[in-house]
Structure 1
């Protein structure tokens, strides 16, 4: 009996020692004058290796919080271990990750690009350059990841989108977008300027590695298909996948696995 108990405790201690660490990092945003919580997942080798780690910024969708990626897909913590990366999940409310021209408390582009990234690089052992940073997200977060990466190719070297809202114009009354940009009828130029499918002119084909996908049963499927075709027309290299599925966590649980392989390849090639 004593031998069995000893074996049990050794196994339990080994599991704890080899588990990723999940922390909540609270940042006082100067841009928005409020405190923003962020989930930070470090791999099991973080505390012992002394090396620098690449970082994946993982954005949530509308109606979700910074906790949802880890709670809805618990294997996210295992992926941090598997790929030896730091995963950062900021709380984006229903900001769409814009700097809102009408709401001073929704300046999330500035927060993420200027405040969050610099704080992560200061507080953690990171590869503090674009070769060590990637960004992706689901739904609103898929819009946000492409939006931020397209506009800030000096920060991220790779970007993805899962079922992303890559064309917001067909949804003028949904998900608080009008609260961030004003109504489409009164501010059409702002909407046109800030929708992903109209931002391809920003891309330099050699500066940003891109991957995105969407389920064929998703209400964002048509927009993602059009984005894919527009990228082909403009000779923008990218990985695009469509498969059966809807706008839900079952789909994203499966899809994130493939994006992580893509990002791992990017990180390994840039060591």
Structure 2
């Protein structure tokens, strides 16, 4: 079912470009509601028999599935990258500040179950995807960076690579460069969702820095980047140091920039190139 909002935005594009983007409604049994996702298909998709690799691209804390399509500072960025690398790109929606996890306290926050047990099987059934980890990757910005690294660390059978752009690598707001009132508000929502959590090592498994040993074990290719003026820079430097200390291979980059769509628009092509190179190593191309 086409989403009217995206229809209006994309109607100004050529018919060929419009045909490359589907908006789908997925009913979640875990959440007892429907959620939207956008699916970008490479040019020529309808006429090709063979399957495509897939990248799941996650939004941030107050975002939604259409953000990556409407907020980048480069027009048609996802369509162009899908065409360039011959990949399907899926942008799902989750709840605000839900962190892509299953809350032990809130039945309305079961987004890990949704992503892993409902969304991916839906996409694999409906589209011509490579239904194996060697052809599937995940990346995201801010809260979506947390989701990408968390989900890949916990489900290495599903993903071969994961990327974080300006990601929440530690949910401990004491490390964030934000005003105290905002930090307190976020902390209250976090504790309502998962309860009190350990802010020192050993870290909670609900925070990405608490999963570094799993990252070492599962061998997923990792790319982490963050702007030097980003309020989350300290959490990114922390996970980089932890991965160095436990010997987990990863790529880490700091570049000029802050928590902005200008930064993420520039970062995404590097992530897609990184993922494309991993797919090539896996013999996908």
Tell me the equivalent position of 2:164. Answer: 161
Tell me the equivalent position of 2:237. Answer: 225
Larger radius of gyration: 1
- Tell me the secondary structure at the aligned position of residue 28 of structure 1: strand
Q: Does residue 1:199 correspond to 2:211, yes or no?
A: yes
CA distance in 1 between counterparts of 2:23 and 2:91 reads: 9
Shift of 1:19: 6.5
> What stretches of structure 2 of length at least 5 have no aligned partner?
1-13, 174-182
TM normalised by structure 2 equals 0.84
Identify the match of residue 136 of structure 2 among 133, 137, 141: 133
CA distance in 2 between counterparts of 1:177 and 1:243 reads: 29
CA 1:204–1:66 in 2, change beyond 3 Å: closer, same or farther? same
Tell me the equivalent position of 1:46. Answer: 45
Tell me the equivalent position of 1:92. Answer: 94
Q: Does residue 1:55 correspond to 2:54, yes or no?
A: yes
Tell me the equivalent position of 2:190. Answer: 177
Shift of 1:236: 0.4
Shift of 1:226: 1.2
Q: Does residue 1:261 correspond to 2:273, yes or no?
A: yes
**Contact 1:205–1:237 (8 Å) recurs in 2:** no
Identify the match of residue 127 of structure 2 among 124, 127, 152: 124
**Contact 2:41–2:88 (8 Å) recurs in 1:** yes
CA distance in 1 between counterparts of 2:117 and 2:55 reads: 16
Shift of 1:150: 0.5
Tell me the equivalent position of 1:241. Answer: 253
**Contact 1:160–1:211 (8 Å) recurs in 2:** yes
- Tell me the secondary structure at the aligned position of residue 218 of structure 1: coil
Say how many residue pairs are matched. Answer: 254
